[in-house]
Amino acid sequence: MTVAIPMTERQEIPVRTNVRRPRGAVIGIAVAATLVSTLSACGSGGASATAGPSGTLKWASSYFPTHWDPVVGGSGAQFRELALVYASLTRTDESGKAVPDLAKSWEYNSAGTEVTFHLREGLKFSDGEPVDGAAVKAAIERAKTQKNSALFGDLTSISTVTATGQDVVVHLSQVDHQIPQLLGQRVLQVASPKAAQDPAKLDQNPVGAGPFVVTQVVPGTKAVLKKNPGYWDAANIHIDNVELTSAPDASTVVSGLQTGVYNFADLTPSQADAAKKANLDVFVLPGFNASNISLNVNKAPFNNEKVVDAVRHAVNRKEFVDKLSFGYGEATDQPFPEKYIAYDPQSKNRWAYDPEKAKQLLAEAGFKPGDIKVDLVIPDAQPASEIVQSQLAAVGITVNIKVDKNWAKPFFAKELTLSLYGTTGRDSAVQTLTAHFGPNGPLNLSTPYQPAGFDAAVAKVRQTPLDAPDYPEVLRAATRAGLESKALVFTYSPPNLIAKSKSISNLPKNPAHIDWTGVTISGS
Amino acid sequence: MPRRVLSLVSGRISVAILLAIALLAVFGPLLAPQDPLATSPDTLAGPSGGHWLGTDYLGRDVFSRLLDGSRISVVGSLEVALMALVVGAIPGILSVYLGRAFEWFTLRLADTLVALPFLLFAVAVTALLGNGITQAMFVTGALVSPLFYRVARSATLAVARSQYVEAALISGASLGWVVRRHVWVKVLPPIAVALAQTIGVGFVIVSSLTFLGIGVQPPAPTWGGLLASDLGYLSYQPWAPFAPALLIMATVWACNLLADAIRDVSGEAGRALANTRRAAANQKANQTAAGGRA
């Protein structure tokens, strides 16, 4: 979501490989797809009479998956689309807590160094492979070792995995009570081990045990899916078909919804007004979005602490909220929204907006206005960059905006000096913290820098069970330690804004996830 | 020829519009009533005394941005036209004189360039050489140059094979003299027509590229860029795209009109047209004079 910051969570460099097929095969697939959908429609005719109304979800997404292999796709925003196909070990409920998905239950050993997941019985991937301990073990190991894995950095706590029947035992290298929270939709969507033997093929033809099965993928453009009758919670999935389309230009999405080309789409805040006028259902899905300015403290001028402090004081968060979110977002100086358990109230306004102080700091560091010139490199032209430019100009730092279509490569290689990023958050607060502030965090532009005491604070969170009474305080202490990082200045929390046709019933308020459980589509 | 162009109404209109645009390009940034980059809390405001065309999504004065953006658009389209002129016209004239090998090679090259879609190519080049309008414009100029090549070549061919040129050559005139004395004068009018038209095409190209966000770095304003950003806020300012669209349209229209006017007054046909007009005017004058006397 959050298209106001269009590069939200593109963790991987999208390499699109178009597979050329002979025309005959394409026609064959199309015919097969039509046949299959017709047959399944006939087959489910009786069932849908009892299961309530059903229909086709026509979803236009700004985050159409560039990769269908969850290991390559990573924890960014595209996991929501991949969750149509893949079930994960755990999922989160409306409070953000891990609840059973493929695993029906789990327990830690008393030392907290081992967690055993018990999988549901009798499930199969859509290619007929059984969903068992071996499959989950293979999935975790693949995420840890596959060369182009975007997830291995999140799995450092896991040393080995053993599987017996429907049980998976995850052995940890350190006490870590975040594992069930971690192995949810963002990190452990489980693919069929047979299909995953050829990861390049899986990346084009996903095979999972999720609520839907892919019948066609047109890379970068469109995916057609149908309901998976073998999904463990199939009784609560009331959507028969899904057409997932890559959203065109933001300004045309509302007319697409109005004319029925789509019935569900994420929106930029500037389009919310038009969507409401078009009598669409506009709502904000709760989430953990946070946008930030990324600084590289290994490079001048940000290797000077006073310059970093000047930037911290130069940022007027209210302007971001007012001009970018059209009343739907809020200011934040942390990677969490204010009501979230990991938000540290003590750190609020740690570096308040104070342009005079920023100027004074720059003067103390020996810089006259205009002395500092720095390139702000971003993947596409976005209003947020112009706000950063004008706010830094106001304190005497000259920012030159550079649009680089190939931005992801230098950003994740930590070669840039100044950039912008927006996270959609993580289900495990620890994962959010380490991704932003950890020495190798993908969102830490200043690798290997990390704030003092951060390591110890995070270790302490890992060691604290989530239901322990002191968990919130320990977690907030880690947030506090992380926020000392000179590499990130948080600005505002953009909304997960969605417009849908009124024929689609309300979605579960599952924070940052798009959950189709129980959702119905009437009269389509 | 300029005087003859101005003798036509269409010529006068087009020159007036283009002069106004040229003035905008030179003085626009100075004329802008406000800083085109200065943001304000007053976003997406409607037209008012302070902001003639309202404000944009960051509260910047749209009128000032439009004035400031004119230079990039004008300079960009001139770059396209001049590049095309240099790359196209000179080999076009030379292809007649420099022998069969050169002729064959340049003809095939022109055929190849015609086949390339210039907008896509410009996008590719900015990806390769960095996001700058000048790179994009020079490449686009090279890609539209076959127009000049063909026009210059066909005009030169007509002259080179005419009897008076042969006579001059037999009399001992040098090739350079022939080109300067006879060819150049004949080739110039069609090239002027092509140039005026290409400047118009250049405007469309610059506007398209900047609309796509190619060639300029934010927050620099351009006409195409303003148009693109307006589209994102249509539900707030449905009228906003009119101003930049109107400017682009007027400029391209004036360029095409000028090309028409130059065509009308140049060559044999042009002389005939001018003569009939003069005759008609004289007749009218005579009539009025006669009427006055009666």
Number of neighbours of residue B177 by Cβ within 10 angstroms: 12
**Do A264 and A59 form a contact (C-beta atoms < 8 A)?**
yes
- Altogether, the residues listed in chain B come to a count of 294
| pLDDT at B139 exceeding the cut of 90 | no
The string of pLDDT tens digits covering residues A96-145 is 899 999 999 999 999 999 999 999 999 999 999 999 999 999 999 999 99
Looking up tokens 């003092």 gives A452
| pLDDT at A183 exceeding the cut of 80 | yes
How confident is the prediction for chain A on average, in pLDDT? 88
Q: Is B291 on the interface with A (CB under 8 A)?
A: no
Number of neighbours of residue A220 by Cβ within 10 angstroms: 12
Check which CATH number belongs to the domain holding B161 and give it: 1.10.3720.10
Residues 109-148 (B) with a CB less than 8 A from some CB of A? 127, 131
pLDDT of residue A491: 95
Q: Is A233 on the interface with B (CB under 8 A)?
A: no
Cα–Cα distance for residue pair A273/A275, rounded to 1 Å: 5
Q: Average pLDDT for residues B29-54, to the nearest whole number?
A: 88
| pLDDT at A521 exceeding the cut of 70 | yes
**Do A344 and A476 form a contact (C-beta atoms < 8 A)?**
yes
Q: Is A400 on the interface with B (CB under 8 A)?
A: yes
Q: Please indicate whether, in this complex, the C-beta atoms of B231 and A273 are within 8 angstroms of each other.
A: no
DSSP class of A192: P
**Do B215 and B136 form a contact (C-beta atoms < 8 A)?**
yes
Q: Average pLDDT for residues A477-494, to the nearest whole number?
A: 95
Cα–Cα distance for residue pair A18/B88, rounded to 1 Å: 38
Which residue type occupies A493? S
Query: How many structural domains compose chain B?
Result: 1
| pLDDT at A43 exceeding the cut of 60 | no
DSSP class of A287: -
Q: How far is CA B279 from CA B5, B214, B275, in A?
A: 17, 52, 6
**Do A324 and A384 form a contact (C-beta atoms < 8 A)?**
yes
pLDDT of residue B289: 64
Strands, E, within chain B: which ranges? none
B120 pLDDT tier (thresholds 50, 70, 90)? confident
pTM: 0.83
Q: Average pLDDT for residues B46-58, to the nearest whole number?
A: 90
Q: Is B231 on the interface with A (CB under 8 A)?
A: yes
Distance, in angstroms, between A401 CA and closest chain B CA? 6
Q: Average pLDDT for residues A171-198, to the nearest whole number?
A: 95
- In chain A, the percentage of residues whose pLDDT exceeds 90 is 78
Q: Which residue has the higher pLDDT, A249 or A8?
A: A249
Q: Please indicate whether, in this complex, the C-beta atoms of A249 and B235 are within 8 angstroms of each other.
A: no
Q: Which residues of A touch B237 (CB under 8 A)?
A: none
Phi-psi region of A493 (alpha: psi -120 to 50; beta: other; left: phi over 0): beta
CA angle A231, A237, A239 (to 5 degrees): 120
pLDDT of residue A109: 94
B291 pLDDT tier (thresholds 50, 70, 90)? low
Residues 244-263 (B) with a CB less than 8 A from some CB of A? none
Q: Which residues of B touch A251 (CB under 8 A)?
A: 231-232, 234
Q: How far is CA B29 from CA B24, B220, B283, in A?
A: 8, 12, 49
Report the run of H or E that residue B59 belongs to, with start and end. Answer: none
A194 pLDDT tier (thresholds 50, 70, 90)? very high
| pLDDT at A69 exceeding the cut of 90 | yes
The string of pLDDT tens digits covering residues B8-35 is 899 999 999 999 999 988 988 888 888 8
The string of pLDDT tens digits covering residues A417-450 is 999 999 998 999 999 999 999 998 889 999 999 9
Q: Is B57 on the interface with A (CB under 8 A)?
A: yes
Q: How far is CA A92 from CA A470, A498, A512, A515, in A?
A: 22, 20, 10, 10
How confident is the prediction for chain B on average, in pLDDT? 87
| pLDDT at A44 exceeding the cut of 50 | no
A85 pLDDT tier (thresholds 50, 70, 90)? very high
Cα–Cα distance for residue pair A25/A35, rounded to 1 Å: 15
Number of neighbours of residue A332 by Cβ within 10 angstroms: 24
Domain that holds residue B173: 2-293
The string of pLDDT tens digits covering residues A255-279 is 999 999 999 999 999 999 999 999 9
Cα–Cα distance for residue pair A291/A5, rounded to 1 Å: 8
Rounded to the nearest 10 degrees, the angle between the axes of helix B242-265 and helix B223-231 is 140
Cα–Cα distance for residue pair A75/A90, rounded to 1 Å: 14
B35 in helix, strand or coil?
coil
Candidates A280, A390, A401: best to mutate against B (most CBs of B within 10 A) is A390
pLDDT of residue A80: 93
Distance, in angstroms, between A258 CA and closest chain B CA? 14
| pLDDT at A37 exceeding the cut of 70 | no
Worst-scoring range by mean pLDDT, A139-143, B37-41, B93-97, B126-130? Answer: B126-130
Q: Is B232 on the interface with A (CB under 8 A)?
A: yes
Q: Which residues of A touch B58 (CB under 8 A)?
A: 323, 383, 386-387, 390
Q: Is A325 on the interface with B (CB under 8 A)?
A: no
A395 in helix, strand or coil?
helix
ipTM of the complex, rounded to two decimals: 0.78
Distance, in angstroms, between A274 CA and closest chain B CA? 5
Number of neighbours of residue A53 by Cβ within 10 angstroms: 15
| pLDDT at A175 exceeding the cut of 90 | yes
For B214, the closest chain A residue by CA position comes to: A403
Cα–Cα distance for residue pair A175/A401, rounded to 1 Å: 44
Q: Average pLDDT for residues A39-43, to the nearest whole number?
A: 41
pLDDT of residue A133: 96
Bridge partners (DSSP) listed for residue A246: A61
Bridge partners (DSSP) listed for residue A158: A172
Q: Which residue has the higher pLDDT, A76 or A242?
A: A242
For A394, the closest chain B residue by CA position comes to: B38
Q: Average pLDDT for residues A37-57, to the nearest whole number?
A: 48
Q: Which residue has the higher pLDDT, B25 or A10?
A: B25
